[in-house]
Amino acid sequence: MILHIDMDAFYASVEQRDDPSLLGKPVVVGGSAEGRGVVAASSYEARKFGIHSAMSAYRAKQLCPHAVFIRPRIEHYAAVSHQIRQVFEEFTPLIEPLSLDEAFLDVTGSESLLGTASKIGLQIKMLIRERLNLTASVGVAPNKFLAKIASDLKKPDGFVVVTEDQIQDFLDPLPVGRIWGVGKVTAQVFKRFAISTIGQLRQLSRESLTDLFGNSGEHYWQLSHGIDSRPVVPDREAKSISNETTFSEDITDLEDLKAWLVTLVEQVSRRLRNHDRLGRTVELKIRFSDFKSLTRSLTLNSSTNITSELLAAGLELLCNRLPKNHLPIRLIGFGVSHLDQPEMMQLQLFDESEREQQRSLDKVADEIAKKFGKHALHRATGIKKSPSSK
């Protein structure tokens, strides 16, 4: 059994917790409404006004003039995320973090000692509330796909369990857009065939879906039948470590994209260091407004987990390796692979003394994030428009 734990309005909820005067108020975490800031996250009170992540802060101010705008504190959120991770570790070592505020947990091997997966999920919710004064939504299901959908259905503070014999009853009424990979373009194709729910999609044969969508057709067939064989892969066992975020509105501004990239790189590099891993190949993933995706990669001269080196590689890919005059971007992802490769030579961009300085800076930043989140350091590039990780 798999749990998907998703913190509710994480950044905004942390700010409301730390400053009780913000409770009940529309809170927007992001850049300045007077400048070219971008919304990183919003409280549920703010969402009622139509405010969402990746929206311009100026537009958010128009929608809700009395909203409270707060600069992101990414390192502080990372410190809180570490505390949440410690709760998870009391129940299973099989934890696959997706971002600062969500993770998959495989609790199959824990049930004989700690009770059913449902009981474990409820205990985790309770401990997060008691220890951190935050709420989490939990989905419990036989696989990742189902658990992810379940955690999202009754937010905030949701708890949904899907058992093996409930899979089709659970899936069939849901809109076809709930299937991973079905975006606006694919949904329009389904609409032409009068398919709007997963149940209706399930009536199509494997062959029909393959004829329509090629290899993606097999993917849609399996998920519509509730089949997802992907295991939960902890960071220590992963062949790569990555993170990505999908924007509610497509982004065209390069500076905004750089700010989102900064936080993705910081999250990935911290996960590498937490697990004593080095990576040699950096990969940037981009999905455009027409839902076409591309990846660009760069192999470094030596393995590293130094934030500044990974960021330099990521910025090179973002600024110089994408097509000119490309369409607006709806998703950006950053990852590192070829983990634990032996160093072949020093990275030319930094001499060894500077690399040691960068390692020391990363170490200090990690310790500050763990122990003194409220006073955490910020990387200047990301302060103005620090991104959400969702």
| Catalytic residue list | 102
Q: Which residue matches tokens 């998870």?
A: 88
Q: What are phi and psi of 353, to 5 degrees?
A: -65, -40
Structure-token pair, residue 237: 């066992």
CA geometry: angle 353, 355, 359, nearest 5 deg: 120
Chain centre distance of CA 286: 14
Alpha carbons within 13 A on the beta-carbon side of 336: 31
Q: Which residue matches tokens 């909203």?
A: 67
Residue 295 forms beta bridges with which residues? 285
Residue 183 forms beta bridges with which residues? none
Interior/surface letters 76-90, b for 16+ CB within 10 angstroms, e for the rest: bbbbbbbebeebbee
| Residues across the chain | 390
Report whether 204 contacts 195 (CB < 8 A). yes
Report whether 118 contacts 161 (CB < 8 A). yes
Dihedral angle sign, alpha carbons of residues 131, 134, 137, 143 = negative
Give the whole-angstrom CA distance, residue 198 versus residue 191: 12
Give the whole-angstrom CA distance, residue 135 versus residue 144: 21
Q: Are strands 159-161 and 27-30 parallel, antiparallel or unpaired?
A: unpaired
Report whether 6 contacts 101 (CB < 8 A). yes
Report whether 40 contacts 29 (CB < 8 A). yes
Alpha carbons within 13 A on the beta-carbon side of 272: 34
- Which parts of 74-196 fold into alpha helices (H)? 74-89, 111-114, 117-132, 144-153, 167-171, 184-192
